[in-house]
Structure 1
Amino acid sequence: MTNMSIKSIKFENVGIAVRDLEATISFFTDLGLTVLGRDEVSGEWTDTAVGLDGNHAKIAMLQTPDGHGRLELFEYLHPDAIETEPTLPNEIGMHRVAFSVDNLDDALAIAATHGCFPLRGVATYQDVYKLTYLRGPSGIIVMLAEELPKN
């Protein structure tokens, strides 16, 4: 154990590599996120930061309406993106992003317009939430949850 300590830490965002940046932006903005900015990045600084030589990507930063949650989406132009099998919920590593919504049925209807449907169905957790996992663009697992009214 070291004697060093961090005085402050703040969660910034989750970064997700996607196959089609525009389709993924459309999916998440239809669910209610907003685009904070877009850019195309490359050069020595990205090679150094990411640890990938020749790194060149289109990026977009999205934010939830409450201003706290952010997604950084990136589509690699170089090197070529590596296609992998979609992750399963029990695989080690990051596998989903989660959002609370005020109306799960409406959120699922929006997701369906993008060809995204629950993996199995909608469940209820201890009369607190109804929730589901769905496979979003580029195979991203997205959890959507609606808080149920308190009795």
Structure 2
Amino acid sequence: MATSELLRMDNMGIVVESLDKAIAFFSEIGLKLEGRMVIEGEWAGRITGLPNQRVEIAMMVTPDGHSRLELSRFLDPEVMEDHRNAPVNALGYLRAMFAVTNIDELVERLQKQGATLVGEIVKYENAYRLCYIRGAEGLLVGLAQPL
């Protein structure tokens, strides 16, 4: 049998409470809505281990078309846990990092949507200006401006 080889990372998934708010937030960063639909049926539950699931998803894509973010809003079953306000040193999903051209301008736009800086914008050597920001629904994302 042939050894499996990694082709690419296809997407990252985030469960949200409001698809509209999450789409607006990630659109402001620069991702584009690729599609939106409801996923349901016995086959879907066999993948996730949640029988009879109904999930509305929105697929967001980066401008280069190489990376995707799948936003999911569970209709059934109801959400069981909420990790959105976990500190940055909690185990599990932390954040997605996005490379941007003007971090100050973007942070200002995101703050107008209610986003907040976790700490501050800092310079890392002569390579990046970086920050963590909590946006739509408290989702944590990183922004990095190459220098």
After superposition, the CA RMSD in angstroms is 1.4
Question: Among residues 36, 39, 49, which one is paired with 1:38 in the alignment?
Answer: 36
Aligned partner of 1:56 in structure 2 is 54
Aligned partner of 2:16 in structure 1 is 18
Q: Please, what TM-score do these two structures have when normalized by structure 2?
A: 0.93
- Structure 1 unmatched ranges of 5 or more: none
- Structure 2 unmatched ranges of 5 or more: none
Cα distance, 1:83 vs structure 2: 4.4
Q: Which amino acid aligns with 1:119?
A: V
- Structure 1 runs (4+) deviating above 3 angstroms are none
Q: Deviations over 1:25-67 (max 9, x none)?
A: 0111121110111101111011111111221111010001111
SS at match of 1:74: strand
Aligned partner of 2:94 in structure 1 is 95
SS at match of 2:75: strand
Q: Deviations over 1:89-121 (max 9, x none)?
A: 111111100000000011101211220021011
Quick one: percent identity of the two aligned structures? 35
Distance in 2, matches of 1:61 and 1:19, equals 15
Distance in 2, matches of 1:138 and 1:95, equals 14
2:133 counterpart of 1:134: yes
Q: Please, what TM-score do these two structures have when normalized by structure 1?
A: 0.90
